[in-house]
Structure 1
Amino acid sequence: MNDFQPYSYTDSVTADRPWLASLVGVQDTNTITLDLSKFTAGVHYVAATNPMLQSRNVMKSGIPLGKISASGLYAPYSGPTSEVQTVTVTGTPTGGTYTLTFSGQTTAGIPYNATAAQVKSALEALSNVNVGDVTTAGGPHPGTPVTVTFVGQYLGDDQTQMTASAAGLTGGTSPAVTVTTSTAGGTASASDGTETLAGFLVDAISFNPGSTKAAGALLWHGEVFADKCPTPFDPTDVASTAPGVNIHYR
């Protein structure tokens, strides 16, 4: 099923484009077709609340896009991958703390049974990590590893692997903490053409659940607030753009 009806909304045009630096007119756009199968509910669009009543999914404006080489359709830009490291506590400790060291800075003690949120807070307390520079998942320790994804100022960059000290852990049998790199940062996550930035989705659009394609407008020349786009990316990591694309960042 294809859906080529643009989304109509009651807010002003500018209100829908907080990512666009120049709010006076959008001239440099092309009509494109989106491959809806490549977009993710909750990330790129708000899913219909009741598909049985023919509610429509709403795609966010400002999504960075790439062009799929094989089909000529557009999909989310898949630029450099962010680093993911996994912190694992072994030896079933029953008390104490451990520390993580990132780029020469060492955290305060992290509880042996820390949640993902506690690991995040400990890292964000470092002088070289801002709030929002890491996301965490998994846990709690010691039974379940915690993954640390580097975003914010470290988005899309290769990172030196953190080190850990288990000296403060107690109980259990030879408790230890290891850090491994699950995903190395800095390499493109795709090779289908979407690793090249083509531009940004100008307007929010809506489409029927089950649709496979929808029309949109591509901003290929303009000035963009990268940190206000609905899906995060680091403009300094954009290694290549399509011929003729000239995106200015601010």
Structure 2
Amino acid sequence: MNDFQPYSYTDSVTADRPWLASLVGVQDTNTITLDLAKFTEGTHYAVSANPMLQGRNVMKSGIPLGKVTASGLYAPYAGTTSEVQTVTITGGPTGGTYTLTFSGQTTAGIPYNASAAQVQAALEALSNINPGDVTAGGGPHPGTPVTVTFGGQYSGDNVAQMTASGTNLTGGTTPAVAVTTTTAGGGAAASDGTEVLAGFLVSQISFNPGSTKAGGALLWHGEVFAGELPVPLDPANVTAVAPGVNIHYR
């Protein structure tokens, strides 16, 4: 089922949009069409918990958007690439802990069989990593590597590679832990037009699962709280914007 329909928007309040800094609400918007296939569940939208919208997905407001050159549809802004590093345990340990060091700060001991959530929590406890600066996936150890994606204040940055120490791992055969850079940060993340910031999705929209398109409104002139956006965006890394875009950040 295609959820495409004309969309117009007029609003003067900021309810449910904590990222919107303008005191006079939303004024300058354009009607746009989203390419839903390019958005990711959990990151950009969620299945609605509202009984009135049962069976519908809800796109978050405030998502940075770019315009796909080939189709003219809008998709998530993909400016600069965020760094991804992978933590791998070898040697089949059966006990003990390891540590990670990032820019001079070292975590407390991380269990040999840690989940991705445990690795993320250990990193977020460092003084130079705030909640939202890293997102861990994969795992659990020791059988499966854990990936660490940098966002927040490190979004789009080529950050220093973490180092690891496995001297406290026990059991197995010569257990060890290593960190590799899977994706270096700082480079262009796309070349389809979405590497240019076009603006932000004004409000939540609901759409049917399986739909390919949905209408929305684009904020291209205004002021936003960058730290309140639903996906990480470092304004310092926004090196190019579409003509006419005039966004101020706090």
Q: Confirm or deny a common fold (TM above 0.5).
A: yes
Find out whether 1:211 has 2:215 as its counterpart: no
For residues 152 and 205 of structure 2, the distance between their equivalents in structure 1, rounded to whole angstroms, comes to 27
Find out whether 1:141 has 2:141 as its counterpart: yes
SS where residue 15 of structure 1 aligns? coil
SS where residue 227 of structure 2 aligns? helix
Find out whether 1:22 has 2:22 as its counterpart: yes
Aligned residue type for 1:149 = T
Aligned residue type for 1:158 = N
Deviations 1:40-88 (A, max 9, x none): 33332334679xx995433322111101111112111112222111111
**Closer/same/farther in 2, CA of residues 82 and 2 from structure 1, 3 Å limit:** same
Deviation at 1:141, TM superposition (A): 2.0
- Structure 2 length as normaliser, TM-score? 0.87
The unaligned stretches of length 5 or more in structure 1 are none
What is the percent sequence identity of the aligned residues?
77
Find out whether 1:3 has 2:4 as its counterpart: yes
Greater radius of gyration (CA): 1
Aligned to 1:75: 75
Aligned pairs for 1:66-105 within 5 A: 66-105=66-105
Aligned to 1:153: 153
The unaligned stretches of length 5 or more in structure 2 are none
For residues 130 and 143 of structure 1, the distance between their equivalents in structure 2, rounded to whole angstroms, comes to 28
Aligned residue type for 2:69 = S
SS where residue 15 of structure 2 aligns? helix
For residues 48 and 98 of structure 2, the distance between their equivalents in structure 1, rounded to whole angstroms, comes to 44
25-34 or 181-190: bigger deviation: 25-34
For residues 55 and 219 of structure 2, the distance between their equivalents in structure 1, rounded to whole angstroms, comes to 27
RMSD over aligned CA atoms reads 2.6
For residues 133 and 54 of structure 1, the distance between their equivalents in structure 2, rounded to whole angstroms, comes to 33
- Structure 1 length as normaliser, TM-score? 0.87
For residues 232 and 181 of structure 1, the distance between their equivalents in structure 2, rounded to whole angstroms, comes to 20
Find out whether 1:41 has 2:41 as its counterpart: yes
